[in-house]
Amino acid sequence: MSSRFLSSASRQLASTILQRNAAMVPLRVRSCMPTRRPRVLSASANARPNSSATAESETAPADEEFDIDGPIRPGTRQHSVLPHRTSLTARLWVDRFDRNNAEYQQQLAKSSSTAAAPRQLVLKRMSDSYVSELLPFKSNSHVREEYITFAGGIRIAKVLEDLDAMAGSIAYTHCASGDLDMTPPITIVTASVDRLDLLKRPTVNQDCMISGKTTYVGNSSLEVTVRVDGLNAAGEPEDPIVKARFTMVARDPITSRAVQVNPLVLEDDEERRLFSMGADLRAKKKIAASTSLNKAPPTSEERLIIHDLWQQSRKYSESGTSLADNNTVWMADTKLSSSHITQPQDRNIHGFVFGGFLMRQAFDIAYSCASLFSQAHPMFLAMDDIWFRKPVPIGCILQFQAQVVYSRAPISNSFQVQVTADVVDPLTGKRDTTNVFHCTFTAAKMAPKPVPHVLPRTYAESMLYLDAKRRWETGFEMAKEGHSLVLDEW
């Protein structure tokens, strides 16, 4: 596995960003949007020379200056790497910004003043979009300090942020299409996180590698598979720690219309298997959407479950007393909420809140909710079906509400936490749901006591219970198929 490092200028800029972040110094920067193709940080050894070409991001006016301490309009595009990303995310973003702005502005002016040339499609191999980066938790004390938890583990929330940034870099690399003078710019956004599984407990005593590639393409969408692997003493990947699948979509940065992405050429049986798996998963998503409890009633078996839950709740509701023991809790009593005013530091290169930031904040409140519910330090197992429904503007109030919606008690200590992210306009009070996150946790087997049973009170809560039960069962089957090393925790 080859490894290509950042230029000295990029390393210096990334270092400056991190130093300024530590010193809390406001950044005043010039526009530095990309003009040439994103440079792969670490490409596969057998990648075809010059096989990747340009893929562009949103534009900013040339020579524009701004102070991030000043007012930022909703949708204002980011002109530089902002200071409080993780060091890995900062490096990935530096790679996107480290381009010649004049050439990009020339192309943008050409595409806006004349009819845009048809986008040139290039057959791409999976290996052409391969990107990897080192996470030196063991060998680098600064990185270890950045990711370590209070309990001595790895902050999964920060890894989620890095996974999203990595997926974006991979997607831009795949969509690169050749000569800048002949190719209109393109914008890539995260549409959804289809699945994310923890297959092994991460530890600060092992260096890791985060890597990924494009494994399936549609017309304007592509599936990116990203993984985190632990490295052995020789620096080679061994057992996988995290696997994730992202769906990315390509848009015209001026019209916001869908843009066709480069097709994949499949070179061997393994690549054909990965592509076929992507197609199958896409078909299953459509089936799941059509049979969702939002559209179709529960099955006959699920109706019996609802009736049983109702009978369990009657003995408490009709008596007018609280729950009789510590082994059962009302679903509504597990709720936990938080609010956050979105700031310029939270935005991505398109001027809206960075998707990785949303995932990080949602995970933190989900973990807090799981801790209060289990009265232990829970272990994260999986996250699935995260749709980025609407962009989150800067200057709004972002409200998260987490609640436990399903538990396996007394069979096991695993349970599901749902987090809803709402965007509230502080001037009008208008509220929109932008994301719903579904996380699976478990309490350690040596926890002081087993997790309680969750009991819904209303029909709406019963639907949440059934939906989470479906997700848990799907996740368990996928953990078995993926040979998870933490399968016994489910």
| Cβ-Cβ contacts under 8 Å for 19 (sequence gap 6 or more) | none
Nearest-CA neighbor of 336 among 309, 316, 360, 362? 362
Query: Which residue among 263, 288, 313 closes a domain?
Result: 288
Query: Which residue among 229, 264, 288 closes a domain?
Result: 288
Question: Chain centroid to CA 285: how far?
Answer: 18
Taking the model in full, what pTM does it have? Answer: 0.76
* Average of per-residue pLDDT across 355-360: 90
Lowest mean pLDDT among 117-126, 175-184, 296-305: 175-184
Specify whether 227 is located in the same domain as 329: no
Asked whether residue 295 is domain-assigned, the answer is no
Lowest mean pLDDT among 63-77, 92-106, 275-289: 63-77
* Average of per-residue pLDDT across 6-35: 37
* Average of per-residue pLDDT across 461-487: 87
**Who has greater pLDDT, 290 or 384?**
384
Specify whether 199 is located in the same domain as 331: no
Burial label, 271 (beta-carbon count in 10 A; 0-12, 13-18, 19+): middle
The pLDDT of residue 94: 52
- Tell me which residue has tokens 């009819």: 115
Q: Is the pLDDT of residue 41 over 80?
A: no
Query: Which residue among 227, 260, 288 closes a domain?
Result: 288
The pLDDT of residue 322: 63
The pLDDT of residue 251: 87
Specify whether 307 is located in the same domain as 283: no
**Who has greater pLDDT, 7 or 146?**
146
The pLDDT of residue 57: 36
| Structure confidence at residue 283 as a pLDDT band (50, 70, 90) | confident
Average pLDDT over the chain, rounded to an integer: 78
- Can you give the CATH number for the domain in which 354 is found? 3.10.129.10
Lowest mean pLDDT among 21-25, 219-223, 415-419, 475-479: 21-25
| Structure confidence at residue 16 as a pLDDT band (50, 70, 90) | very low
Quote the domain boundaries for residue 478: 300-489
- Identify residue 255 by its one-letter amino acid code: T
Q: What are the tokens at 407?
A: 């538990």
Q: Is the pLDDT of residue 292 over 90?
A: no
Specify whether 324 is located in the same domain as 266: no
| Structure confidence at residue 441 as a pLDDT band (50, 70, 90) | very high
* Average of per-residue pLDDT across 40-46: 36
Specify whether 269 is located in the same domain as 339: no
Specify whether 187 is located in the same domain as 329: no
* Average of per-residue pLDDT across 4-21: 40
Q: How far apart are CA 347 and CA 82, in angstroms?
A: 8
| Structure confidence at residue 462 as a pLDDT band (50, 70, 90) | very high
Asked whether residue 1 is domain-assigned, the answer is no
| Cβ-Cβ contacts under 8 Å for 404 (sequence gap 6 or more) | 329, 331, 334, 369, 370, 373, 415, 416, 417, 454
Question: Chain centroid to CA 365: how far?
Answer: 15
The pLDDT of residue 468: 95
Q: Is the pLDDT of residue 412 over 50?
A: yes
Instruction: Decide if 91 contacts 14 (C-beta within 8 A).
Output: yes
- Tell me which residue has tokens 């791409």: 124
State the total domains in the chain.
2
Asked whether residue 437 is domain-assigned, the answer is yes
Specify whether 147 is located in the same domain as 203: yes
Percent of the chain with pLDDT over 70: 72
Specify whether 322 is located in the same domain as 270: no
Specify whether 257 is located in the same domain as 401: no
* Whole-Å CA distances, 358 to 132, 258, 349, 368, 399: 23, 24, 15, 16, 11
Q: How far apart are CA 324 and CA 343, in angstroms?
A: 45
Asked whether residue 3 is domain-assigned, the answer is no
Asked whether residue 446 is domain-assigned, the answer is yes
| Structure confidence at residue 77 as a pLDDT band (50, 70, 90) | very low
What is the per-residue pLDDT across 218-257, written as a single tens digit (0 to 9) for each? 999 999 999 999 999 888 998 899 999 999 999 888 788 8
What is the per-residue pLDDT across 192-221, written as a single tens digit (0 to 9) for each? 999 999 988 889 999 999 999 999 999 999
Specify whether 319 is located in the same domain as 241: no
**Who has greater pLDDT, 148 or 52?**
148
| Structure confidence at residue 158 as a pLDDT band (50, 70, 90) | very high
| Structure confidence at residue 48 as a pLDDT band (50, 70, 90) | very low
* Average of per-residue pLDDT across 104-123: 61
Specify whether 411 is located in the same domain as 445: yes
Q: What are the tokens at 345?
A: 């530091």
Lowest mean pLDDT among 194-208, 287-301, 387-401, 429-443: 287-301
| Structure confidence at residue 362 as a pLDDT band (50, 70, 90) | very high
Nearest-CA neighbor of 77 among 95, 99, 63, 61? 61
**How many CB atoms within 10 Å of residue 379?**
21
The pLDDT of residue 444: 75
Specify whether 252 is located in the same domain as 353: no
